[in-house]
Structure 1
Amino acid sequence: MSVLVLGAGPVGSTATAAFLDRGTDVSMGTRSGTAVSGAATVRVDASDADALTRAADGHSTIVVCTNPPYARWRTEWPPIIDAVVRAARATHADIVMVGNLYSYGKATMPMTERSPEHPADSKGEVRRDLWSTLRRATERGEVRAVEVRASDYFGPGAGADAHLGTRFFEPILAGKRSAAIGDPALPHSWAYLPDLASTLVAAAEYTGDWGRIWHVPAATDLSRTQICRQVNDRFGVWGSVSALPSWLIRGIGLASPMMREVAASSYQFRMPFLSDAGETERQLGVRATDWNTALDATVASYRR
């Protein structure tokens, strides 16, 4: 198997490492030509179908890890997914798409791979439509596609944009306050980046039916308040976490399209937001990393 990974962000980089660990030939495709050790470097615009077809030639799987900024999802995602389908159809490559839980909206918890899709904001509508495009292309026999859906991720390299990333851990480890979107005392499913990567690898190697959804097993469903308390207890710090006022988020959103979109999806942090990955565990054999192991590795990455 050889894979073309699109996107060199936290997910793309971690997925590339996981495929390389399996002995898979990997090409990393980005607009800027980002280099990742062990992978071939390909400079490509994922929305350019002809260029993407050339980049995908000779690869058995296209792994879509790229993700436009929130405020540009509605305009930038459709040409990307169209180009991916066209490239896969021309090269006979499979498609493994990284997704999230937005399309379920305010669903009955926990969300499963078979939960109905009732988006609660425009980003959920975009994600629903992306998967619909891939599913229909699979049903027509044009391509073979699956979507691997993860809740919010954390782990080494998660970065500043992750809800359980740099802006959460660094203040707490420094004995300061971390500001959270929504209610930090509510339970939430958190996917460990290496587990997300393992699910992508397993989905790409799956020999059963395609045209389906896989959920990434969550490492924990703890609230951010509970996680903060554990970090304090395990690492001898005195950090805290509290909610950003809703009025402040809305105010910032007047000037920041990104924050406006964060506010629109903040319902995910104003209610318990839980996922179930039973089918992934049973059929792909992927299990979540032990929570304490994942937490230790994550904290260590912020202390280097």
Structure 2
Amino acid sequence: MKQTILGAGGSIGIELAKALKEYTSDIRLVNRNPVKVSSTDSLFPADLTIKNNVFEAIKGSQVTYVTIGFPYNTKVWKEYWVPFIKNVIEACLKYDSRLVFFDNVYAIGGDNVNHITENSPISPTSRKGEIRAEVDRLILENIDKNNLQAIIARAPDFFGGTSRENSVIINLVYNNLIKNKKAQWLCNAKVIHSMGYVPDLTKGTALLGNTPQAFNQIWNLPTDPQKITGEEWINLFATELKKVSEYTVVPNWLIKGIGLFVPVMKEIAEMNYQYDRDYYFDSTKFKNYFKFTPTSNAIAVKQTIKQIKYTEISDGKRTKNR
């Protein structure tokens, strides 16, 4: 059964390709410059902002996963996200492909992030959130009106796997502690902030895509239910790295300044509502239905640090041998 990943070159796409091997050996990887994750993968180089490319990429696919990550820029998102998802929906309907959309929770805003479930209302309070809300509504409307077979699979902020450059916690906590600097946190380190572990999120996405009964629903992907604060995240990383657990809190007005040095932070200022109050992601529905036990936060941190170090050693060896 052919399964296609649109946006296969990012951290989620790469880990999803690994997870899908449990279900099929017929995996099509689509992005501008796809690279095989497994030897049996087929590669489909394409600019997915072009409608015809989207159709050709989806043609023949029983399941299509959207893990694409357009550059983290409101102007870019406004230009590309809605036309892209319209093309995906149209192609999935034409070729009878089931759609699994790997989503974030930007469409949920304000105090609704205090406890995020599948029933949390679409309530964006940011420009990026408004764009993602429109994307979600298009999928849900086509499920209701056009018999689109689709899943919205939501994830909180995440880390782990190959996710590093665009991970807030890696940039602000790990990268500082490893340099013997104080870790940083945004807005308030004393409030709850859920984080997803990429290998769990992608295993969950693959499981959903290969469970016909799971379609036409919203699912929160598997995440440790521990209600953990920013300060406690910092303690986990510091303990594992054997560093002093010290940190500074960055107020929202300084976030744009940090963006001069950490690109992912440039446009995160409008997302401060995710850091100045409790942000708890509840995946009870997934865990109960699939009897899935997420990796604990402590073990996820340990494994993430191990993966980073392994990658650095491997990259160093490759550079030395060139």
Tell me the TM-score normalised to structure 2 length.
0.87
| Partners of 1:60 and 1:53 in 2: CA distance | 13
CA drift of 1:43 comes to 0.8
SS in structure 1 of the partner of residue 4 of structure 2: strand
| Partners of 1:22 and 1:166 in 2: CA distance | 34
| Partners of 2:306 and 2:244 in 1: CA distance | 17
1:42 paired residue number: 44
| Partners of 1:14 and 1:253 in 2: CA distance | 27
1:110 paired residue number: 115
CA distance 1:192–1:256, shift in 2 (3 Å):
closer
Report % sequence identity: 23
Aligned: 1:274 with 2:280? yes
Tell me the TM-score normalised to structure 1 length.
0.91
SS in structure 2 of the partner of residue 217 of structure 1: coil
CA distance 1:152–1:143, shift in 2 (3 Å):
same
1:284 paired residue number: 290
Deviates more, 1:280-289 or 1:116-125: 280-289
Give 5+ residue unaligned stretches, structure 2.
311-322
Q: Map Cα deviations across residues 265-292 of structure 1 (whole Å, 9 max, x no partner).
A: 1210111100111211222333311333
| Partners of 1:2 and 1:241 in 2: CA distance | 47
1:98 paired residue number: 102
CA drift of 1:182 comes to 2.2
Give 5+ residue unaligned stretches, structure 1.
none
Contact preservation (8 Å) 1:46, 1:80 = yes
| Partners of 1:166 and 1:253 in 2: CA distance | 11
Q: Map Cα deviations across residues 95-118 of structure 1 (whole Å, 9 max, x no partner).
A: 000111111101342111011111
CA drift of 1:11 comes to 0.7
Q: Map Cα deviations across residues 209-245 of structure 1 (whole Å, 9 max, x no partner).
A: 6322100122243223212223333442225332224
User: Which one-letter code corresponds to 1:4 in the other structure?
Assistant: T
Deviates more, 1:294-303 or 1:254-263: 254-263
How many pairs were matched up? 304
| Partners of 2:144 and 2:20 in 1: CA distance | 27
SS in structure 1 of the partner of residue 248 of structure 2: strand
1:242 paired residue number: 248
Instruction: Give me the CA root mean square deviation.
Output: 2.3
| Partners of 2:95 and 2:34 in 1: CA distance | 22
Aligned: 1:20 with 2:21? yes
SS in structure 2 of the partner of residue 270 of structure 1: coil
1:192 paired residue number: 197
What pairs up with 1:181-220 in 2 under 5 angstroms? 181-208=186-213, 210-219=215-224, 220=226
CA distance 1:251–1:300, shift in 2 (3 Å):
closer
CA distance 1:87–1:244, shift in 2 (3 Å):
same
CA drift of 1:194 comes to 0.8
